[in-house]
Amino acid sequence: MRTDVRVTRVDAVPFSIPYRKPLRFASGEVHAADHVLVRVHTDAGVVGIAEAPPRPFTYGETQASIVAVVDQLLGPALVGRSLHDRNALRAAMHRTVGNPTAKAAVDMAVWDALGRCLGLTVTAMLGGGAGRPLRVCHMLGFDDPAVMVAEAGRMLADHGVDTFKVKVGRRPLELDVAVVRALRAEFGPGIDLYVDGNRGWTASESLRALRLMEDLDLSFAEELCPADDVLDRRRLVRRSTIPVLADESATTPAEVTRELLSGAADAVSIKTARTGFTVSRVVLDLCDGLGVEVVVGNQVDGQLGTSCSAAFAAAHPLTAARAAELSNFLDMSDDLLTESLRIEQGHLVLPVGPGVGVVVDEEKLEHYRRDR
């Protein structure tokens, strides 16, 4: 392999794949994976790939804005640079502020390209060798209690998944309390449950909801109240008997440091879709050094995005310690990959190829792309 491979072009391809059913949560809902395929081309003829999921209600990015910033700013800033100098690549991208999922996708595509050049998996490049087994957590969106219980039952029966993140944040809050209570009543202590409010309640509503669920043995309560309610978030952590998991409030290393040291969170959700591999390592090291738990989260990724999350999670003991959110690609009607991911006995079967280990089906891409 050549010792110096350089970026020749970066492109962004918008695509849209419908979901079998919409996923609803407090900050919005998604009916289709209106995502962006990011490709990093090199002078070795190798192409790295990653997926950017726009979340305008969380990060302010849209499919069109991601394509524009990759084509006009991030891509040109990387052309001519070496894949090996990932710190310089990160610095070049970060001259443009914001745009976290666009930057994350470019970063992961760079790692994927380098892995393909070296014949190594990203997991191995991150120091994880062959990787660790990954238990899977499934995310349950808003619906009637009976429907959500039935979905959890199918995931348990068909895939062996026994960890569930339950979307909450509706009003009256008793709607969501009823769902969590129904899940615990149906499956007993044999499943792991935690809740995610996507900033939907006030701190006072959050405290009341947590008191109503204190007997349900929840692992975490994630982002129940707004991320910028500084004092209320600290009050919530102090009074909650359930560990509080930071997500939207902890999207950068600086935010992670602030949330943990200020007492506004007990644990952190790491999402490669917003911090790539390079910055996710910084976040993980912070959490490891401070002795807090992490969960590998999900941006309702497709299979490519899920493969990236899994590559990172499998590389580290701390990220592999808890079930990772790696299953919601099952809600999509199709995907872009030549070979679908599998979940067996509650664990994701890791791709074994170089880079993130997956290949895009060009015919599917041509069918679902939205720029022609």
Cite the active site residues: 167, 196, 222, 247, 271, 299
Q: Which two tokens stand for residue 233?
A: 């978030």
Q: Are strands 347-348 and 343-344 parallel, antiparallel or unpaired?
A: antiparallel
Q: CA Rg, the chain, in Å?
A: 20
The letter for the amino acid at 18 is P
3-state DSSP percent of the chain in helix, strand and coil, to 5: 40, 25, 35
Let me know: does 145 contact 176? Beta carbons within 8 Å: no
Residues whose CB falls within 8 Å of the CB of residue 233, separated by 6 or more in sequence, listed in order: 203, 225, 227, 244, 249, 259, 264, 265
Coil, strand or helix at 371: coil
Q: Which two tokens stand for residue 305?
A: 């995005």
Which residue has 């701190």 as its token pair? 203
Nearest Cα to Cα of residue 49 among 295, 344, 335: 335
